[in-house]
């Protein structure tokens, strides 16, 4: 193992793979890790698909990529809920199409040779503010709804909460234009446009009911995104980040709105999986 990477020797198990990828995920094309967990897939990441646009990816860690076959045998992989295998050694020759396989054994030496391994950046003041803001929101959310998410705050303008369907999640996001505001949303970002359209139409047909539950200021947007036509259902409220009273008020609004979004949308998950996505 090259010096300076945090391990004296090459990984000998999956835990070593997790360690290296957690340290160098940005160099390997994953902008952020939303969470690492003990259910399939092992992690949820975000990759950049545009200047200010990102999409969610399911990531499975394996020492050897062939270990992924067990998830196929156990019917845990459905063709959509995982799009990336990160391994030390790639030996899965007949891997399903659509699975990106990152072999650290070859990728890390290539990054070293080309000088593309980036040093960890010092957080800017804005990133520190995002980290503190979402850390507090998440802690309040977990206190009110324990066992819903293991998500950790990251130094970025958004924070998402999985809701049980790959490519669909709840999200807080701070927007800077045209003025500073916070949105709470259900984001529908499946890999296939047809899935996003089906899911959006399902909720759009219940617009009146959803507005009674979540408020008349609920907005429905489809499509958005460049490469894939995504959808989202959201509320948004302006605030002044320099005003302490308004900052505390927007946190309370964001918390209560997210709790209502979770209570409203989570019960639909089983039906969406069984009746809509399974009927392709």
For residue 119, being part of any structural domain is answered with: no
Same domain, 75 and 36: yes
In tens digits, the chain (280 residues) has pLDDT values of: 555 567 777 888 999 999 999 989 999 999 989 889 999 999 999 998 776 678 889 999 999 999 999 999 999 999 889 999 999 999 999 999 889 999 999 998 888 777 766 655 678 999 999 999 999 999 999 999 998 998 888 889 999 999 988 889 999 999 998 899 999 999 999 888 999 999 999 999 999 999 999 999 999 999 987 777 999 999 999 999 999 999 999 999 999 999 999 999 999 988 888 877 776 5
Closest CA to 218 of 235, 241, 206: 235
Q: Which of 66, 82, 114 is the last residue of a domain?
A: 114
pLDDT score of 223? 92
Asked whether the beta carbons of 29 and 46 are under 8 A apart, the reply is: no
Domain assignment present for residue 27? The answer is yes
**Same structural domain, 59 and 164:** no
pLDDT of the residue at 119: 59
pLDDT for 4 equals: 58
Query: Given this model, what pLDDT does residue 2 score?
Result: 59
pLDDT the model gives residue 84: 97
CATH number at residue 245: 3.30.1460
Q: Is residue 120 part of a domain?
A: no
pTM: 0.74
β-bridge mates for residue 154, sequence order: none
Question: What is the pLDDT, as a whole number, of residue 112?
Answer: 77
Residue 3 in domain: no
Q: Could you tell me if 68 and 207 lie in one domain? A: no
Residues 23 and 141 in one domain: no
Q: Which domain holds residue 154?
A: 125-279
Q: What is the pLDDT of residue 273?
A: 82
**Integer angstrom CA distances of residue 95 from 91, 154, 261:** 9, 32, 37
Residues 94, 210 within the same domain? no
Q: Same domain, yes or no, for 71 and 133?
A: no
Do 218 and 267 reside in the same domain of the chain? yes
Number of domains in the chain: 2
Pair 190, 152 in one domain: yes
Whether 259 is in a domain gets the answer yes
Identify whether residues 153 and 272 lie together within a single domain.
yes
Residue where one domain finishes, among candidates 82, 114, 146: 114
Are residues 110 and 22 part of one domain? yes
Sequence-distant (6+) residues with CB within 8 A of 70 are none
Together in a domain, 133 and 267: yes
Same domain, 142 and 100: no
> Of 146, 159, 152, 156, whose CA–CA distance to 251 is shortest?
159
């Amino acid at each position: 193992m090259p010096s300076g990477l945090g391990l004296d020797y090459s990984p000998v198990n999956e835990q070593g793979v997790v360690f290296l990828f957690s340290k160098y995920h940005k160099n390997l094309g994953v902008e952020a890790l939303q969470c690492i967990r003990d259910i399939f897939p092992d992690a949820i990441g975000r990759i950049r698909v545009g200047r200010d646009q990102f999409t969610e990816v399911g990531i499975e860690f394996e020492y050897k990529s062939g270990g992924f076959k067990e998830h196929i045998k156990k019917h845990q992989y459905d063709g959509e809920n995982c799009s990336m295998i990160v391994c030390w050694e790639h030996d899965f020759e007949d891997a399903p199409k659509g699975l990106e396989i990152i072999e650290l054994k070859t990728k890390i030496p290539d990054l070293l040779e080309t000088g593309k391994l980036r040093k960890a950046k010092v957080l800017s003041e804005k990133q520190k503010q995002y980290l503190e803001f979402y850390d507090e929101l998440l802690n309040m959310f977990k206190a009110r709804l324990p066992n819903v998410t293991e998500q950790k705050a990251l130094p970025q303008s958004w924070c998402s909460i999985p809701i049980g369907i790959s490519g669909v999640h709840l999200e807080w996001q701070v927007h800077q234009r045209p003025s500073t505001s916070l949105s709470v949303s259900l984001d529908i970002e499946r890999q296939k446009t047809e899935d996003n359209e089906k899911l959006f139409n399902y909720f759009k047909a219940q617009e009146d009911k959803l507005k009674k539950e979540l408020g008349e200021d609920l907005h429905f947007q489809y499509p958005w995104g460049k490469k894939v036509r995504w959808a989202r259902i959201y509320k948004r409220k302006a605030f002044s980040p320099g005003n302490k009273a308004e900052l505390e008020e927007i946190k309370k609004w964001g918390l209560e709105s997210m709790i209502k979004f979770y209570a409203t949308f989570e019960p639909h998950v089983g039906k969406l999986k069984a009746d809509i996505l399974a009927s392709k």
